[in-house]
Amino acid sequence: MRAAALSDTLHNPTELQSLFAGAALFADLPPADVKAVAGIASLRRFGAGETVFSAGQFDGSELIFVASGALKSAVADAQTGSMIVESIGQGGFFALSLAAVPPEGCRYSEASLTAEADSVAVFIDAEAMRALVAERALLARALLLHFARASAGAGAAQESGPERRVFAAIASLVKRDAVSAAWRIERMPKHRDLADLANVAETDAASAVARLISSGVARRDYPGLVIEDMAQLNRLSR
């Protein structure tokens, strides 16, 4: 997979190494390990709204670190068919699991990736990264800790089936406001319509919406809904 970009020029390990300073994954690694990762990476710039790749184009040959700006991934949920949208901000990764496992049956293959703003992304060769992880114990440990923390967070956020389906349905309706950049639903469906969309009882739909609002994940903006924490909504919907 090779994404089209405004520029595709930087293979300078020193400059790339400095960009990794914003990644928590690399925070406690010795400079030699970070430099090794920089040596298998290249930098690409994308303009706001530019497609990094479309659904079906990602082949798992690279994983992506967002050095600045934000990228938006979108993929259809296999169970509900609703779109799962996630914003990957500065310091975040797309397809980081490819640093540990080969891309066969890659769950990212049907995702699309778009620049939400002018962005700088670092593309890391996935096969070479797996080789580094196998060779460098501290890098492997950092990756293991990263996945362990992510798994613990996901476990804490695990929800009951009906509620999760409602969250997924809400996430599928969210759009990014072109002016304010806020995540929002312009016209929130009635509870019974939302229940039909999520295939749950109307009381489940009403309860899920109330929980999002009470927890600060969303707020009412009649007749719509503003999502204050899109990342958390995506976690709740999985």
pLDDT in tens, 65-104: 998 888 988 887 666 666 777 888 888 899 999 999 888 7
Domain coordinates of the chain in residue numbers?
7-156, 161-236
- 209 contacts: CB under 8 Å, gap ≥ 6: 166, 170, 188, 191, 194, 218, 225
Q: In the prediction, which pLDDT does 161 show?
A: 77
Which residues pair with residue 122 across a beta bridge? 43, 65
Condensed to tens digits (0 to 9), the pLDDT of residues 103-157 reads 876 678 889 999 988 999 999 999 999 999 999 999 999 999 888 877 654 554 4
E-state strands within the chain: 7-10, 41-46, 51-53, 62-68, 70-76, 83-89, 93-94, 112-115, 119-125, 175-176, 183-185, 218-221, 224-227
The domains spanning 7-156 and 161-236 adopt the same CATH topology: no
Condensed to tens digits (0 to 9), the pLDDT of residues 35-52 reads 999 999 999 999 999 999
More confident residue, 181 or 4: 181
Radius of gyration (C-alpha) of the chain in whole angstroms: 19
Q: How many CB atoms lie within 10 A of CB 169?
A: 25
Task: Supply the mean pLDDT for the chain.
Answer: 84
Give the burial class of 174: count Cβ atoms within 10 A of its Cβ; 0-12 exposed, 13-18 middle, 19 or more buried. buried
For residue 223, cis peptide bond before it (omega within 30 degrees of 0): yes
The letter for the amino acid at 171 is A
* CATH tag, 161-236: 1.10.10.10
CATH architecture of the domain with residue range 7-156: Sandwich (2.60)
